[in-house]
Amino acid sequence: MVESKTILYNILSGVFTGIIIAIIFYLSSLERINEFIYQLTLKQLIINGLSPNQATEIANQTLTTIKNIEWIYPLGPVLNMFLISVILGVINDYIIRRTNMKPYMASIITGLVLLLVFQIIPLLIVSILIGNWFIELYSKYIGFHIPVTMTIIYTALLIIFTSIRGPWSRILESKPKIY
């Protein structure tokens, strides 16, 4: 069972966000993801000294293998957001308990943590470590609208769940068994 309803609302927001993003991703970006994987594999192989012909052959084999498991793509955002939302739930709960901040403000701060710590900073680190070409590929094939959309959806759902008493309050908040 979850220790705090704030953490539970974060997990709920994360799972719903993951489902929404998975649907958007699957319907609009499936071919671009395959092309991104192909180009990423090709570029890395060439950078590491393989001839362009060998790199193209291996990248094509990789793409063929990936196409066999593309049905699993939608699980990625859901699992990713579930795990991240557990961490964000602890952060959100800590902010609310320690600062006595209103839940909607803590939700906005938690959304900013999601954007900075789990999306922007990792992209910057990868860019620094392997080069700017990765950011260019990411921008071309996946786009930065996905992380921004994910953050907006997550934050909006979190604000709704933590600030508004809706039917989820009665369902998720059980009454004590012993009075």
Is the pLDDT at 1 greater than 50? The verdict is no
Cα 96 to Cα 4: distance, rounded to the nearest angstrom: 11
- The pLDDT tens digits for 14-59 are 999 999 999 988 887 777 888 999 999 999 999 988 899 999 999 9
What's the pLDDT score for residue 172? 62
Cα 115 to Cα 108: distance, rounded to the nearest angstrom: 11
Contact yes or no for 22/14 (Cβ under 8 A): no
Q: How many residues in total does the chain contain?
A: 179
Amino acid identity of 136? Answer: E
Q: Extract the tokens encoding 10.
A: 């974060």
Burial 25-56 (b: 16+ CB within 10 A, else e): beeebeeebbbbbbbbbbbebeeeebeeeebb
Contact yes or no for 119/143 (Cβ under 8 A): no
Question: What is the domain partition of the chain in residue ranges?
Answer: 5-29+79-164
pLDDT class of 3 with cuts at 50, 70, 90: low
* Global confidence as pTM: 0.83
